[in-house]
């Protein structure tokens, strides 16, 4: 259809579609394009193409009069098409605006979305019009429901809870059925109450950017449940809204509900690849605007894939730096989120796909931004390559998912290693972070995550069971470091079940009592199982959804979890914001002492005994470096943590009186709820029997 709307020049920035001056100003970056049309799509599917004649800094822009919020639109980019140089301009393909605040629809005809015919590198451009077969952008007004006051929880007080918006409430009995699996379902009072009673301070949402299923899944009639396949970096995923076209408002309402309860909202962002995949993938957005400007390419025009997903965003491109930082600021300001977890963040420090540089343009742009520098910034410090494993290597303002912590704690409790590396992990991983001006809380300690076994499965399976994924159990890691406690999978054997529950409590307690920031996974506290599936990325059913039925086992685990989290929250010495230094305290002993079962301090040679399965950790709370919200130092009692991964019980001698006038058991993983099996005060130098595979925490009042 010919253009029938007047077009003014407008301005190139900010990018996107912005209602103003009686119309909408459109601006999109397409430096290599020869012409760009904005296409207004009516309710009956007809199209009004309007050429944008102004190009500034490679941005095509124009103000179209008479357009209002709610208008569906897309772009058509004319030439050049030269796959050998990575150029894939094709006006037959209607493109989603990279800055769209709302996206509607899905790919319904994959073949129509392909920009080529035959061989993706050698074939001619497809002339099939993709209109009607691909998602559309929607003009959106700014503003909406107030997102409330950000809680600004100090990192050292944070307890992060990773959850999936859909899966978390899909089976919740107290959430109205039409709200289950939505942003408003997450905002429901019963859900918020669960988080508050558990002691969560910060929720981390799996991807909520609008995403699109990968071609391989579409062809099999499957879905990308996790959402690590982004289409648009500004638009909330529409399928998580309870009502059509209300995703922005409902997301803001959810954030407000969390903030009102004092809970922060972090979102998992995927700035390493998009749903367009490799050269054989569809042309939906970035590929059609400027593929070489957005994606890493190799000689001959193919994409460089260091994500395992077909393409990789070019971290050194100014277009990518602008796209990422603009997106982050939008979510932090307009949508109210408190921080971000960056998926495969190592790619963001590898411009050109080369060696990792913590001071890369993209990472630096994020940490120096006046808005983003105040957000919680958490890196997943690896990608799909060996060179990308960078745990401990990010810059001073970055917290990191500490994969070393996960592996070490799992290995210790399954009896595979001694205690040398465990001591580093329990005390904040100073070997990874202390030399980089970072704090212990920048170690995001975790034992389970969305990617891998649940806590219950970690103690129930030796191997993965991913048959439901349709890939013959080839997908998912084989490096699980799990132990089934003697039987693979479900069992009725009382001894095995008792040991599994205790092992789960050991792992959970270790996580919460370690120095650093603990991250839990939704449902672990409810004894959730995925039946041994450690990669349920495409399983959108009861396998992945949180089961809210409070069985006896679930009730016991929930009670224990609440107890440990509450204990941590009330014990500043267990969550100190500074590394232990061996400094002498008022007790005359160092701030941290490692103890053997005989009550004596660990000698250097003891650390190299790989058969050692018992470790004592004494923390002097009288010299705690924790502070109040006003910045004043907060003292605490001293603590003795005893961890015993051996199968047999062991006699442990409590340390002498300079460590405490007496010791009071506060947590014991041999009981279902964690209450001490032998309550009462214990004297210095007395002997304590520790059950095999168990943990005990004792308090020494100051």
Catalytic center residues: 343, 380
Task: Tell me how far apart the alpha carbons of residues 667 and 574 are, in angstroms, rounded to a whole number.
Answer: 14
Three-state DSSP at 74 gives strand
For every residue of 509-571, which 3-state class applies, written as one string? HHHHHCCCEEEEECCHHHCCCCCCCCCCCCCCCCCCCCCCCCCHHHHHHHHHHHHHHHHHHCC
Please give the distance of CA 203 from its chain centroid, rounded to a whole number.
10
Contact 572, 488 (CB under 8 A): no
Q: Give me 53's structure tokens.
A: 């004649």
The token pair at 473 is 């159990």
Distance CA(81)–CA(581), nearest Å, equals 61
93 DSSP assignment:
S
Distance between CA atoms of residues 53 and 8, nearest Å:
9
Q: Please, which residues have CB within 8 angstroms of residue 180's CB and are 6 or more apart in sequence?
A: 169, 170, 171, 172
Strand, helix or coil at 267? strand
For residue 416, CA distances in Å to 402, 456, 482, 498, 611 come to 19, 19, 10, 21, 9
Q: Check residue 588 and report its DSSP letter.
A: S
Strand partners, 667: 697
Angstrom distance (rounded) from CA 245 to CA 239: 10
Neighbours of 414 (CB within 10 A): 21
Rounded to whole angstroms, how far apart are CA atoms 99 and 480? 39
Phi-psi region for residue 2, left (φ > 0), alpha (ψ -120 to 50) or beta? beta
Three-state DSSP class for residue 441: helix
Tell me the Cα Rg of the chain. 27
Query: Do 447 and 521 form a contact (C-beta atoms < 8 A)?
Result: no
Tell me the C-alpha distance between 156 and 633, whole Å. 13
User: Mind giving me the DSSP string for 668-698?
Assistant: ETTSTT---SS-S-B-TT-EEEE-SSEEEEE
Which tokens in the block code for residue 220? 């099999």
Pairwise CA distance, residues 294 & 655, whole Å: 60
The DSSP annotation for 485-515 comes to: TTSSS----HHHHHHHHHHHHHHHHHHHHSS
Residues in the chain: 702
279 vs 115, 291, 313, CA distance in Å?
Answer: 9, 10, 14
Angle 318-333/361-368 helices, nearest 10 degrees? 30
Q: Can you tell me the distance from the alpha carbon of 600 to that of 64, in angstroms, rounded to the nearest whole number?
A: 78
Q: Dump strand ranges (E) for 318-473.
A: 339-342, 376-379, 399-401, 443-446
């Amino acid at each position: 259809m010919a253009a029938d709307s007047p077009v003014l020049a407008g301005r190139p920035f900010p990018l996107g579609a912005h209602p103003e001056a009686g119309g909408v100003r459109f601006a999109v970056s397409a430096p290599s394009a020869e012409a760009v049309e904005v296409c207004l799509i009516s309710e009956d599917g007809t199209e009004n193409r309007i050429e944008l004649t102004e190009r500034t800094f490679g941005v095509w822009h124009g103000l179209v009069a008479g357009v209002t919020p709610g208008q569906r639109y897309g772009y058509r980019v004319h030439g050049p098409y030269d796959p050998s140089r990575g150029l894939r301009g094709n006006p037959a393909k209607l493109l989603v605006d990279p800055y769209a605040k709302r996206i509607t629809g899905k790919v319904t005809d994959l073949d129509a979305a392909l920009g080529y015919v035959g061989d993706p590198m050698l074939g001619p451009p497809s002339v099939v019009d993709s209109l009607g077969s691909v998602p559309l952008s929607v003009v959106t007004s700014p503003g909406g429901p107030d997102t409330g006051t950000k809680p600004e929880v100090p990192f050292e007080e944070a307890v992060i809870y990773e959850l999936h918006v859909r899966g978390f409430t899909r089976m919740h009995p107290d959430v109205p059925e039409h709200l289950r699996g939505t942003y408003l379902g997450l905002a429901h009072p019963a859900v918020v109450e669960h988080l508050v009673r558990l002691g969560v301070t910060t929720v981390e949402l799996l991807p909520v950017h609008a995403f699109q299923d990968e071609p391989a899944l579409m062809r099999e009639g499957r879905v990308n449940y996790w959402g690590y396949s982004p289409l648009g970096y500004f638009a909330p995923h529409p399928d998580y809204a309870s009502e059509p076209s209300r995703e922005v408002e409902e997301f803001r309402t959810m954030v407000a509900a969390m903030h009102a309860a004092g809970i922060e909202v972090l979102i998992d962002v995927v700035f390493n690849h998009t749903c367009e995949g490799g050269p054989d993938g569809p042309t939906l957005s970035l590929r059609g605007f400027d593929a070489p400007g957005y994606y890493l390419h190799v000689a001959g025009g193919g994409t460089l894939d260091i994500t395992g997903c077909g393409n990789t965003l070019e971290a050194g491109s100014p277009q990518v730096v602008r796209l990422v930082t603009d997106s982050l600021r939008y979510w932090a300001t307009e949508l109210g989120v408190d921080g971000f977890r960056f998926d495969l963040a190592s790619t963001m420090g590898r411009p050109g796909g080369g060696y990792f540089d913590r001071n890369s343009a993209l990472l630096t742009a994020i940490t120096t931004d006046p808005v983003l520098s105040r957000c919680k910034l958490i890196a997943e410090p690896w990608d799909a390559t060996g060179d990308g494993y960078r745990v401990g290597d990010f810059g001073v303002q970055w917290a990191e998912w500490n994969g070393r912590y996960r592996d070490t704690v799992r290995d210790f409790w399954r009896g595979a290693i001694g205690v040398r590396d465990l001591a580093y992990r329990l005390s904040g991983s100073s070997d990874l972070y202390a030399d980089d001006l970072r704090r212990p809380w920048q170690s995001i300690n975790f034992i389970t995550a969305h990617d891998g076994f649940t806590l219950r499965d970690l103690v129930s399976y030796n191997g993965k069971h991913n048959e439901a994924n349709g890939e013959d159990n080839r997908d998912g890691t084989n490096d699980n470091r799990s132990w089934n406690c003697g039987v693979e999978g479900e069992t009725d054997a009382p001894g095995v079940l008792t040991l599994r529950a205790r092992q789960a409590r050991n792992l959970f307690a270790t996580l919460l009592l370690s120095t650093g920031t603990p991250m839990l996974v939704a449902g672990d506290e409810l004894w959730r199982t995925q039946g041994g599936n450690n990669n349920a990325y495409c399983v959108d059913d009861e396998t992945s959804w949180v089961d809210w039925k409070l069985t006896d086992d679930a009730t016991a685990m929930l009670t224990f979890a609440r107890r440990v989290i509450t204990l941590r929250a009330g014990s500043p010495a267990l969550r100190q914001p500074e590394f232990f230094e061996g400094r002498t305290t008022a007790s005359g002993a160092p701030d941290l002492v490692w103890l053997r079962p005989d009550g004596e301090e660990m000698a250097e040679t003891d650390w190299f005994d790989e058969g050692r399965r018992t470790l004592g950790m004494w923390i002097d709370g009288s010299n705690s470096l924790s502070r109040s919200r006003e910045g004043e130092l907060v003292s605490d009692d001293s603590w003795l943590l005893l961890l015993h991964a051996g199968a047999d019980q062991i006699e442990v001698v409590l340390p002498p009186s300079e460590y405490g006038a007496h010791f009071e058991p506060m947590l014991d993983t041999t009981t279902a709820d964690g209450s001490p099996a032998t309550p009462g005060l214990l004297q210095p130098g007395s002997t304590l029997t520790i059950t095999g595979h168990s943990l005990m925490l004792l308090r020494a009042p100051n």
